[in-house]
Chains A and B, each alone.
Chain A
């Protein structure tokens, strides 16, 4: 895994790192502090996860996904940005020569801290459903945009993925369990692997719809 460079835009520095296979990961440095993430610091972060660059990249992605979901489940509005900020802080520590023994646990602690700090900003707080002003309820225009995005994003999925989530999530209760078992069997994978695969396709669809809705400025 080799860092390919830094992209600076509107108060952010994003380091993009690509694997030999072609998949890339990125880490964002908000320019709130004077310190800017360097390729070297990011490489130290990766090597802290695994000495093998290929495995390090996979572990980084898995760790990032977990941390993003933790903050998402805790109700953060911007879990990805907060996790990137956490990685930034950890990379800085490593770059300054600090030794960290359990890097994933340390990153988790920092991400938690960054999340708690983010709660101090009023825009990042959760809002109780009852406390929402009536204007916040999605109007027909919003629903239409979301529906269009849904159709668009569903089309963007590969035929296999589309079929997979359709097959995986249909049916009810007991019938659903049996159906999933037979589906896993037909695909030649374990039920857990099927669940994981379906979940990721669903997440991909969800991310696509959210991005699409944001682009539509609703």
Chain B
């Protein structure tokens, strides 16, 4: 790394521009290398002095004020540096004066005022020169005061502008925060409404409890009767079949559903119900058991003794 690069790295470190990891690594290097540490310290002093003397670039000054001067300790250091450099400048200015006093050579300044030192200088001329010098000093004092006031005024204006800018920024930040909050609220409302809508749609899509269709079956016709079997439409719902019990009463009933070819589809035991003056045996055939075709339902009764007796057969057709 060249000296220039090192200097840049040190300045970046001091101005807080290094990421945390690099900063830590750099400090580790400084721990191991005392000379480098001293160089960083000296660079800090140089940076402070340059800032005090107004010798830093605008960008460096901004970074310096933004980072370095954020620490009260650093601000104190800069204030002390101001005093130190001021004192140094005063001492530096005193030295040439002392040298001038000691120097035997006659300067152009002395030559200019040489006539004043001559004994033959008229008293009036001396007074005039004195007056001229007093006026000059007065004018300088007046001008200095005016410039100082102007400077203070400019500083105040800059301060006011900074405060105003800060207020504007705070106001904008506040508004942005409010807008963000409002958006978040709206988004939450939207999400809630969408959720409700979705729930509503889901509820609509969900099928209700299947409707139960009931059919009354009549016993198989006796020989010679040409009555077509009752027809049941093909439905996806469960089907309740009712069979009238003509005087035959059993404690329980057994239902066997078969195709006309004799294949058993479904069997179940159950009870009976009664309507007005009529008694029915009922069985519910679950949905999906019935396809298109001809069926026979065999109704049996179980006696109290446990014997099963066939009561009747009921033909029907699913179309």
Q: Which of A14-22, A27-35, A192-200 contacts B (4 or more CB under 8 A)?
A: A192-200
With A166-B88, A196-B38, A206-B77: A134-B72 Cβ-Cβ less than 8 Å: no
Among residues of B, the one whose C-beta sits closest to the C-beta of A134 is B159
Instruction: Say yes or no: is A25 at the interface (Cβ < 8 Å to chain B).
Output: no
Q: Is B30 an interface residue (CB 8 A)?
A: yes
Task: Please tell me if the beta carbons of A150 and B87 are within 8 angstroms of each other in the complex.
Answer: yes
B261–chain A nearest beta-carbon distance, Å: 88
- B271-303 near A? 1/0 per residue, CB < 8 Å: 000000000000000000000000000000000
Assuming A75-B70, A126-B71, A170-B92, is B14 touching A202 (CB within 8 A)? no
Q: Which residue of A lies closest to B83 (CB)?
A: A150
Question: Are the C-beta atoms of B30 and A70 separated by less than 8 Å?
Answer: yes
Q: B37 to A170, Cβ gap below 8 A?
A: no
B71-104 with Cβ < 8 A to chain A = 71-77, 79-80, 83-85, 87-88, 91-92
Question: In the complex, are the beta carbons of A127 and B28 less than 8 A apart?
Answer: no
Q: How large is the interface on B (under 10, 10 to 19, 20 to 34, 35 or more residues)?
A: 35 or more
At the interface, yes or no: B27 with Cβ under 8 Å from chain A? yes
A146 touches B162 (CB 8 A): no
- A169 contacts across to B, CB distance below 8 A: 49, 84-85, 88
Which one of B34, B42, B69 contacts A62 once the chains associate, using CB atoms below 8 Å?
B34
A171 vs B88: C-alpha distance in the bound complex, in angstroms?
A: 9
Interface residues of B in 27-62 (CB under 8 A from A): 27-28, 30-31, 34-35, 37-42, 44-45, 49
A209 CB–B CB distance under 8 Å: yes
For A210, list chain B residues within 8 Å (CB). Answer: 76, 80
Residues of A within 8 A of B70 (CB): 75, 126-129
Contact at B80–A206, with CB atoms within 8 Å? yes
Give the chain A neighbours of B16 by CB distance below 8 A: 74-75
Q: With the chains together, A196 CA to B39 CA distance in Å? A: 8
A153, closest chain B residue (CB): B80
Does chain B have a CB within 8 A of A76? Answer: yes
B186 on the interface (CB 8 Å rule)?
A: no
Residues 130-162 of A, flagged 1 when their CB comes within 8 A of B and 0 if not, give: 110010001000010011001000100000000
Contact A146 B71, beta carbon cutoff 8 Å: no
Nearest Cβ in chain B — how far from A109, in angstroms? 8
Chain B, residue nearest A195 (CB): B42
Alpha-carbon distance A171/B133, docked complex (angstroms): 31
A150 lies within 8 A of B41 (CB): no
Check A66–B31 contact: CB distance below 8 A: yes
Whole-angstrom distance between the Cβ of B22 and the nearest chain A Cβ = 13
Inter-chain CA distance A206–B78, complex, in Å, is 10
Question: Nearest CB to that of B91 among chain A residues?
Answer: A166
For the complex of A and B, the 3 pairs showing the least CB-CB separation, nearest first, are A126-B70, A75-B71, A150-B83
19 A-B interface contacts by CB (under 8 A): A62-B34, A70-B30, A73-B44, A75-B67, A75-B71, A105-B28, A108-B27, A112-B24, A128-B70, A129-B69, A129-B75, A166-B88, A170-B91, A199-B38, A205-B84, A206-B80, A209-B83, A210-B76, A213-B76
B interface residues, Cβ below 8 angstroms from A: 13-14, 16, 23-24, 27-28, 30-31, 34-35, 37-42, 44-45, 49, 65-67, 69-77, 79-80, 83-85, 87-88, 91-92, 159, 162, 166
What residues make up the interface of A, taking CB atoms closer than 8 Å to B? 62-63, 66, 69-70, 72-77, 79, 104-105, 108, 112, 126-131, 134, 138, 143, 146-147, 150, 154, 166, 169-171, 192, 195-196, 199, 202-203, 205-206, 209-210, 213
Given contacts A129-B69, A130-B162, A192-B35, 20 further A-B contacts (CB under 8 A): A66-B31, A66-B37, A69-B41, A70-B27, A75-B70, A77-B72, A108-B24, A108-B28, A108-B31, A126-B70, A126-B71, A128-B66, A129-B70, A130-B166, A146-B83, A150-B83, A166-B91, A169-B85, A170-B91, A195-B42
